[in-house]
Chain A
Amino acid sequence: MARKPTVLAAAPTLPAATVNFNAMHAAIARGASADDAVKAGVEATGAPKPEPETPNAPAAKSADGADA
């Protein structure tokens, strides 16, 4: 007999972006982790993803123009 998946104990933290709740809900019901559930919700929207927590600054250049 198949065991019921263990679902998340608490709701995942949502990003400042668009989340498809139905997709996230289905992922949680399948036993997805918090990160995977949010990822499923964001990817189901096709919307732009939020910026990473550490923005990519332009690479520093040395005096001769090469990457430092």
Chain B
Amino acid sequence: MAFQTRKARNTAVALITQAARGTFLDPAANKMAVSNLTLDISSVTVSNPEYTGSVDVNGDEVVGKQCTLSYDVNLRAPGGTAPPSAGAYLPGILFVNAKMTEVITASAIPAAPEALTAGSTTGFTGGDGLTATADLYKGMIVQLPGAGAGLAGLSAIRTNSAAKVVTLCETLASAASGNYQIPKQLAYVNSVGGTDPLPISHKVWAGGKRYDLVDCQVTSLSVSVQTSTSRQGSIPVIRVTMSAVIYGTADEATPTAPALGPTPKYRNGKQFLALKAVGGSGFELNLGIQTDAAPNPNFESGDEGDEITQKQITLTPNILGYRKADFDAMAMADAQAYHPFFALWGNGTDQNVAVIVPDARFTHAGDDLGGTHITQSPQLLVDVMQKNAAIVFPYL
């Protein structure tokens, strides 16, 4: 009689934010569709230096085990007609653990569209519906119906002054006019505060065997968005790696992960860099996370678990190489001034995604002549400023 085989595609994942470090929380109700999953488990060893009276050496001592979980998540919006409640958008659990803030704007601001004044192609002045707090709306999506219907009428706020002067991350085709309103949206923005995020509990089913993981901490997270063209398609994904502690294992049939429908493709939207609509094959937003575990012999493992010890965000677009008169990336790298990046795509109703970096500095990049079109990949450096990187899901 042969044992039952285990099939790689019979894989599912569930996750939840823990209430406290060290306490496993059952995430079974939060099943999330993932791909490219790896669960690496390896021994931590230390060599035994004792002399044995011969040239032979005893085997290493096994001190413990190290567990690393990584997978991809298709970058979809939560869907529905309004932002979900706290923690209900499951990929958002990863963003928050990567030291981002989940910002839920459940009702539009102001409640009804309001007339703007002093409209230009790069901004406008808001009315009584806005609060006179500088940069309160930075990194948010604003709807400007005068600029068009659907995605065409959505823009990103680069900054707002105490005088309610709003500056955009793009250049509109004509001066902003008519009304404005900040629509309902779910956003994940870079947190520069001093608070540590709570760890995550996971259940990972692989071919009928279940791994329970506690104190999962994101050690690497990037958002990879590639342009889909008439010749080839690509699915925007979140790539995440976590350190974890194995809480337990059991044999359990793999549950079904929900089918969530097609993922919005990066096309038929907007890509503005330094206020200019530039083409290119896509971009990658990397949170640049570093973690470490503080040693502490009071703990069973000998340490207090992984914590984020450094985060340095970069955004690397692959853009078409333009003539100097059209887009001079080298001059921008030389000057080291701040420039915004704004990407927006989706179906114009319930599946819209935006990636916004209000202020970034260019690095130098040469022309890449390896393909049919000349391209450039300057890295955009993101300084530590409030809400200076955001992934936003606006609702129309």
Contact = CB atoms under 8 A, between A and B. Distances in A.
A17 B102 contact: yes
B135 interface: yes
B19 A18 contact: no
A47 B101 CA distance: 12
Contact of A16 (B196, B296, B304): B196
State which size class the interface on B falls in. 35 or more
Interface of B: 17-19, 21, 85-87, 96-97, 99-107, 109, 131-136, 138, 162, 189, 191-198, 296, 298-299, 304, 386-387
Q: Closest 6 CB pairs between A and B?
A: A47-B86, A18-B86, A45-B86, A16-B197, A14-B101, A50-B195
Given A14-B191, A15-B195, A21-B104, 5 more contacts: A11-B136, A16-B96, A17-B96, A20-B104, A25-B136
Contacts of A8: 133, 136
B386 A15 contact: no
A65 interface: no
A9 B197 contact: no
Contacts of B189: 14
B296 A57 contact: yes
Nearest to A26: B131
A53 B194 CA distance: 6
A53 B193 CA distance: 9
B105 A14 contact: no
A21 B18 CA distance: 23
Nearest to B197: A16
Contact of B87 (A10, A11, A47, A57): A47
Nearest to B96: A16
A53 B304 CA distance: 15
A16 B86 contact: no
Contact of B196 (A9, A14, A50): A50
Contacts of B133: 7-11, 28
Nearest to B100: A16
Interface in A14-36: 14-22, 25, 28-29
A4 B320 CA distance: 51
B206 to A, nearest CB: 28
A51 B296 CA distance: 18
Given A7-B131, A28-B131, A55-B304, A13 B193 contact: yes
Contacts of B96: 16-18
A18 B198 CA distance: 11
Given A7-B133, A51-B21, A14 B198 contact: no
Given A16-B191, A18-B86, A11 B105 contact: no
B198 A48 contact: yes
* Residue with the greatest number of chain B CB neighbours at <10 A, chosen from A9, A13, A21: A21
A56 B104 CA distance: 29
Contact of A52 (B17, B134, B195, B386): B195
A19 B85 CA distance: 10
A15 B189 CA distance: 10
B131 A29 contact: yes
A17 B93 CA distance: 9
A52 B93 CA distance: 19
A17 B193 CA distance: 10
A50 B198 CA distance: 6
Contacts of B101: 14-19
Contacts of B298: 57-58, 60
Contacts of B87: 18, 47-48
A18 B104 contact: yes
B45 to A, nearest CB: 27
A48 B100 CA distance: 14
A35 B368 CA distance: 48
A23 to B, nearest CB: 9
Given A18-B96, A45-B104, A57-B298, A13 B198 contact: no
A52 B198 CA distance: 10
Given A21-B105, A45-B86, A57-B296, A9 B134 contact: yes
